[in-house]
Structure 1
Amino acid sequence: MRPLEDIRIIALEQYGAGPFGSVHLADLGAHVLKIEEPSSGGDVGRYVPPYRNGEDSLFYETFNRNKSSLSLDLTKPGGREVFEDLVRDADAVYSNLRGDVPAKIGITYDALKHLNPAIVCCSLTGFGMTGPRANEPGYDYILQGLAGWMSLTGDPDGPPTKSGLSLVDFTGGYVAALSLMAGLHAAKRDGVGGDCDVSLYDTAIGMLTYPATWHLNAGYVPARTKNSAHPSLVPFQAFRALDDWFIVGCAKEKFWVRLVTTLGMPELLEDARFVDFTARGEHSDQLLPLLEERFVQRTAAEWVADLRAAGVPTGPINSVEQALTDEHTIARGLIATTEHEHWGEVSQVVSPVRFGAEPSTYRRAPRRNEHFVDVVKRLGYSSARVQELVEGGAFGDPMPAGRS
């Protein structure tokens, strides 16, 4: 069996952060059933341009492989009944909604424990389920600003800068998945579930890590650094070579020794200004010009090859294309392909979360309501019961055609 093959998760999720968190669980074998609100067309991620076809997009495919889909209207009595029947047989309810919504629509532990005392309810929200911003929507871009990330990113003389990736969304998804797994472990041990109150805001603040510790305890004021330099380790930054940029990082003294030896500048080892981390940091304005003058004498590829051979942490600054075709990317099996009726084949990066030697398998993201027949069969509904629910609008009005 796959590591999580015995886990059933009901996911009221959409767009990026929530589906990103659960896709790692799905890749590990968890049965993730997406509950999609019918009147709005389901997961908004289905409609993200520019690579979109009808109710599908490459954005949606990225975050929803290996999942199932059911259109269900929780505002209708029949829809709520189906949801509660699903909860009785599930291990977790997972959502990414505004912080005040889980309680309003009854998907918290207090609202569901009478159905399943061991249910784990993981709510990934913008700002959490408590606090002055609990009822506000949270988006990655806003949170990168609120949490101070943008004040740390970019050139010192440039504007505050967002990361090129939605890192608050993605790290928030990871935190939600980790919280959910912790809750499942506790529920299995104790027979009692509970709530995971996870937020993008908490995640973003938590990611401030050691700069926050420095600030809180020593008054350190974080600032943007030239050439993406590390705030305390010198040299550890981007350097310009003859033709391009590359990265060199001396996170240990032994790397500094290897670096200057490879550069043909052994005299720097005897220079008191550069004798250790502290000295190099205090005299960075004198050291960095010496290194910059040397690096521009050869190409980036030449320096990277020689420094790698010498055991110095280094690497090129790749384009996305170069990163995706790197020999290590291929060797680690980080690209998977699924068959798709419109796109033909969809290639995408896979989850880095792994356990065991069994290779992962992948299937395309589900069409909206694709697993309607599978779900009603598993719940043991008779034809008459299904017809009653359909007529009551439980699955939307009109119900999208489902295929198992």
Structure 2
Amino acid sequence: MSTNVSRPLDGLRVIDLSQMLAGPICAMRLGDLGADVIKVEPPAGEWTRTHPFANARVNGESTALLGLNRNKRSVVINVKDPEALEVLHELIGTADVVLQNFRVGTAERLGIGYEQIAERHPHIVYCQISGYGEDGPYRDRPGQDLLVQGVSGSMWSVGSRTDPPLPGALWAVDAMTGYQAAIGILSAIRERDKTGLGQKVSVDMWSVVMDCQTQEFTTYLNCDILPERSEEQFAHAWTNPPYGTYKTKDSYIVLSQLPIDVLGEAVDDDRLRAISSWDEAEERRDEIRRILLQIMPTRTTAEWLEVLYAAKLWAGPVYTYADIEADPHVKARGMISTISHPTIGELRLPSVPIRFSRSTADIRVAPPLLGQHTEELLEEIGISAATRDALRERGSI
């Protein structure tokens, strides 16, 4: 990296313990802005090193990993080795930020949870990215882009009237979560500049994707209007099966990247049990989908989810906005907020998806009316009443 130019985050050091997309894209963006990002990997490397899109590699390197990890340095540390874990703690002591996106509870088991880090390094800003947050009934579910798309309500806004719920081809949930995590990290760094103390930043994918649909959700929550698809109109073209949406007996279910032989055991199908490798699954993706399209309608979504969750497979329901509003996890985590609006009265909005361990991020002021705060703002910056009157007469404010 060139040292001849100044970057906004020069001097900031980030320990990136994350894998796949949401965490790495956050750390990459911080690196793009000048941070010294140190990517900590297990001896075998992180997941995307061995699971590239379309089995595509450039000179042996996974394109999936290449696309998310520029402006980083990599170090291999096996945190399951106590001595190596101590090395990681020494490295963390030189840093400003620790970023991880393990399943909830995993970091604590490894000895690198927030409390374990903060006890030794109170200056650290510690960011945890999760699928559904660290509390609520769904805290232990796996968080993955497609699964969160399913519960986000967004699939009902895509495709034709006769199509099943359609997932987006972009990894938008992961990417948006990574960007929100970066915002949370930088906010906590700014606060640390004043207090000298770090804190924990928590960002979960479901809250983020609700926040990113704020226009749609505000329309639904306040006008009771659901998206209505037109007459005219697939999942990601490069992702291994069974990645996609499937009709069940009573609704729809989403299945993410799964070991096909384990899935075959769960759904009791010998054809799927026989497919044990990633490459074979890729080659037989159409056949796998056709088999599942026949199997999944034999049970309800709830019945399948009980079976698939028991097998620890990535699966989830496909929600409408109404399903989300009624969901106990949404209620338990306060993912929908109410605020007073000057002309509407009670206004309901998706809650802020970033949470801190010591600070507060909340909705304090409703969306303003046109020019609602012009007077107070101009007065605050010292514009005289006479000048304000003159500007108003000319229609300039």
TM-score, normalised via structure 1 length = 0.53
Structure 2 residue corresponding to 1:36, chosen from 25, 41, 47 = 41
CA distance in 2, matches of 1:88, 1:127: 29
CA distance in 2, matches of 1:24, 1:172: 12
Deviation at 1:100, TM superposition (A): 2.4
Q: What is the letter of the counterpart of residue 45 of structure 2?
A: G
Structure 1 residue corresponding to 2:183, chosen from 178, 181, 200 = 178
1:142 aligns to 2:147 (yes or no): yes
CA distance in 2, matches of 1:23, 1:88: 21
Cα 1:69–1:28 shift into 2, 3 Å: same
Deviation at 1:203, TM superposition (A): 0.9
Aligned to 1:52: 57
- Could you tell me which runs of 5 or more consecutive residues in structure 1 were left unpaired when the two chains were aligned: 229-404
Q: What is the letter of the counterpart of residue 45 of structure 1?
A: T
Counterparts of 1:1-400 in structure 2, within 5 Å, are 1-38=6-43, 41-47=44-50, 48-49=52-53, 50-52=55-57, 56-225=61-230
Sequence identity (%):
33
TM-score, normalised via structure 2 length = 0.54
Deviation string, structure 1 residues 2-38 (Cα, Å, up to 9, x no partner): 1111100001111112111111111111111111011
CA distance in 2, matches of 1:2, 1:106: 33
Deviation at 1:65, TM superposition (A): 0.8
- The answer on whether the counterparts of 2:161 and 2:231 sit within 8 Å (CA) in structure 1 is yes
- Could you tell me which runs of 5 or more consecutive residues in structure 2 were left unpaired when the two chains were aligned: 1-5, 234-397
Deviation at 1:105, TM superposition (A): 2.5
Q: What is the letter of the counterpart of residue 43 of structure 1?
A: E
Q: What is the letter of the counterpart of residue 46 of structure 1?
A: R
CA distance in 2, matches of 1:67, 1:226: 47
- The answer on whether the counterparts of 1:100 and 1:134 sit within 8 Å (CA) in structure 2 is no
Q: What is the letter of the counterpart of residue 47 of structure 2?
A: V
Deviation string, structure 1 residues 324-362 (Cα, Å, up to 9, x no partner): xxxxxxxxxxxxxxxxxxxxxxxxxxxxxxxxxxxxxxx
Alignment partner of 2:127: what SS?
A: strand
Alignment partner of 1:113: what SS?
A: helix
Report which structure shows greater RCO (CA 8 Å, sep ≥6): 1
Deviation at 1:102, TM superposition (A): 2.8
- The answer on whether the counterparts of 1:46 and 1:55 sit within 8 Å (CA) in structure 2 is no
Aligned to 2:293: none
CA distance in 2, matches of 1:64, 1:119: 22
The CA RMSD over aligned residues, in Å, is: 1.7
Alignment partner of 1:63: what SS?
A: coil
- The answer on whether the counterparts of 1:32 and 1:67 sit within 8 Å (CA) in structure 2 is yes
CA distance in 1, matches of 2:108, 2:188: 19
- The answer on whether the counterparts of 1:127 and 1:201 sit within 8 Å (CA) in structure 2 is yes
Aligned to 1:251: none
- The answer on whether the counterparts of 1:118 and 1:188 sit within 8 Å (CA) in structure 2 is no
Q: Pick the structure with greater CA Rg.
A: 1
Cα 1:108–1:194 shift into 2, 3 Å: farther
Q: What is the letter of the counterpart of residue 210 of structure 2?
A: I
CA distance in 1, matches of 2:124, 2:203: 16
CA distance in 1, matches of 2:228, 2:112: 42
- The answer on whether the counterparts of 2:161 and 2:232 sit within 8 Å (CA) in structure 1 is no
Q: What is the letter of the counterpart of residue 109 of structure 2?
A: K
- The answer on whether the counterparts of 1:123 and 1:196 sit within 8 Å (CA) in structure 2 is yes
CA distance in 1, matches of 2:60, 2:119: 36
Alignment partner of 2:112: what SS?
A: coil
- The answer on whether the counterparts of 1:46 and 1:52 sit within 8 Å (CA) in structure 2 is no
CA distance in 2, matches of 1:227, 1:23: 38
Alignment partner of 1:2: what SS?
A: coil
Deviation at 1:206, TM superposition (A): 1.6
